[in-house]
Structure 1
Amino acid sequence: MDLGVVTFLTDYGITPVELGRAVEERGLGALFLTEHTHIPTSRESPWPGGPELPTRYSHTYDPFVALAAVAATTERIVLGTAVSLIAQHDPIVLAKAVASLDRIAGGRFELGIGPGWNAEEMAHHGVDPGRRTARMLEHVEAMRVIWTEDEAEYHGRFVDFSPIWSWPKPTRVPPVLIGGGGPTVLDRVLSHGDGWIPLRVPVSALDEFGERVAELRRRAAEAGRDPLPVTLYGASPKPEALASYAAAGVDRVLFELTDPGPGGTDATLRELDGLAALV
């Protein structure tokens, strides 16, 4: 089982280049970044994590820009998003950004995606919250066409364009990891994904989770596909928990770095030192 980290990379914390180098130097296998384009001040949408939204949500780097800097200064680690809210992006523009990043990274990029939870944020981008998942999946389809065809064309409900030229193409079609844990998420993983990235599965729920992983593998085999990898966001760093994740069929875990606040670079490096001991 591979070990990596995921973080809200902020303008007041460790820099992208320093973080990427530190992750690679410590033998960890992956660095994934979160995404919010902005946070509306209205705070009408409840945060799933509790009553108060942490400061880091409104201070994150653009993950594609930050990961490009990391890609240019590392050689080995997998780079990804966990997750990008792609329904809020223009798919033609995002397809070029992802392809450019993947080429800079030498084929190390993985696109983790999710529909999001903040309805006001979506509305600012002209996205109907009730249609966000359908739009997300259509954006995946449109971007794959752009990545793989010299004259790309797509006609859908949310995305519609006549034949276009768009280069660079990625080194290979970037794996798309579908985020979420709802009752229909496996349907989306199988129809549009190359892997699953569920969020914070407690050890107490791993038996049921393992059954879902087995279902995913079974359904993929029935569809004639290779096993679809599972990346767990927000894993516990305890050795006994890691053994349980592996037994449940998890292929990679991402440890979420804590937010030490302004000037907390040294604290982040110490946290990485602790995680390196698990490698």
Structure 2
Amino acid sequence: MRTGVFYFPTDYGIDPGELGRALEERGFDALFVCEHTHIPVSRRSPFPGGGELPKRYKHTHDPFVALAFAAAATKRLRLGTGVLLVPQHDPIVTAKSVASLDRLSGGRFELGIGGGWNVEEMENHGAQYATRFKLMRERVLAMKALWTQEEAGYQGEFVRIEPSWMYPKPVQHPHPPVLLGGETDHTLRRVVEFCDGWFPRAGAGFDPAAAVARLRAAAEKGGRDPKTLSTTVFRAPPEAATLARYREAGIDRVLLEVPDLDRDGILKRLDELAPLVGA
């Protein structure tokens, strides 16, 4: 089982390049970054975690720019979005960003995706909460076409792209892995239909063995080989005994949290987490 981290790449935190180097030096497998394009001041949508919206949600760098700095500073670290809010991103522009980052990093990018929870944020992008998952599906399918076909087009309810040339193509074949966040049965059906991996959160009561069994059952029901689907657990507990259970259950990767601290505080926390890598 591999061990990576996730981080809100804020303008008051650590430089993404320095963070990438620090992770690689300590043996971590991957860096996944969170994103919000902006936070409307109205705050109609309550924070899912309860209470006030944490400061970091308003201060994130663009994920592709942040990961490009991390890619330039490292050699083997996997780089991912955790998660990219696909309903808020143009599929043509996003497909080019993904392909460019994958090529320039030597094939190290992974696209973690989600539908989003902030209604007013997505509305500012022209997306609607009620149809966000249908929109996400079509945009992912359109991006896959752009990554894999010489002359690619897509015609759906929400996405329409006439046959086009788009380069560069990703290094990874057929394209970088697409990992879908969420825990519901609906999420699992979408993973099986058009993704390459599952990206659940390790909330209260999360059972890794049950999670692996759920994904396997969903894959078999959907006619997909379970071996073609990975499981990366977001915000896994930084506890050796718990992580041993994850490993025994067959979880492919866990992501530990890099906290919302300044540079020195983050580097100190990485030193504390490092013994969990491969433990």
TM-score for the superposition, normalised by structure 2:
0.95
* Structure 2 partner of 1:190: 192
- For residues 20 and 40 of structure 1, what CA distance do their matches in structure 2 show? 30
Aligned AA for 1:194?
Answer: D
Kindly report which structure 2 residues correspond to 1:89-168, keeping only aligned pairs within 5 A, or say none: 89-168=89-168
Given that residues 31 and 79 in structure 1 are in contact (C-alpha distance below 8 angstroms), is that contact kept between their aligned partners in structure 2?
yes
Amino acid at match of 1:69: F
Identity rate, percent: 55
C-alpha distance in structure 1 between counterparts of 2:224 and 2:129, whole Å = 33
**SS of residue paired to 2:230:** coil
Aligned counterpart, 1:220: 219
| Displacement after TM superposition at 1:185 (Å) | 1.0
AA matched with 1:235: A
Q: How many residues align?
A: 273
Structure 1 segments, 4+ long, off by >3 Å, are none
Match of 1:257 in 2: 258
Question: What is aligned with 2:57?
Answer: 57
Deviates more, 1:236-245 or 1:2-11: 236-245
Stretches of structure 2 that go unaligned for 5 or more consecutive residues are none
Aligned-residue offset at 1:278: 1.3
Cα distance, 1:213 vs. partner? 1.8
Please tell me whether the aligned partners of residues 86 and 113 of structure 1 are also in contact (alpha carbons under 8 angstroms).
Answer: yes
Residue aligning to 2:265: 267
Counterpart position of 1:181: 183
Identify the range of structure 1 (78-87 vs 179-188) with the bigger mean alpha-carbon deviation.
179-188
- Aligned-pair CA distance for 1:243: 1.3
Query: Matched residues in 2 for 1:19 and 1:147: separation?
Result: 29
1:201 corresponds to: 203
Offset of 1:224 from its aligned partner?
4.4
| CA displacement at 1:226 relative to structure 2 | 4.6
Structure 1 residue 182: Cα displacement = 1.9
Q: CA deviation at 1:233?
A: 0.5
Q: In the aligned structure 2, how far is the partner of 1:168 from the partner of 1:226?
A: 30
**Is the 8 Å Cα contact of residues 3 and 30 (structure 1) preserved in structure 2?**
yes
Farther-moved stretch of structure 1 (159-168 vs 193-202): 193-202
Q: Provide the rounded CA distance (Å) in 2 between the counterparts of 1:102 and 1:205.
A: 32
Deviation at 1:201, TM superposition (A): 2.9
Alpha-carbon distance between aligned partners in 2 of 1:120 and 1:139, rounded to the nearest angstrom: 20
Q: SS state of the match for residue 136, structure 2?
A: helix
For residues 159 and 68 of structure 1, the distance between their equivalents in structure 2, rounded to whole angstroms, comes to: 27
TM-score by length of 1: 0.95
SS where residue 276 of structure 1 aligns?
Answer: helix
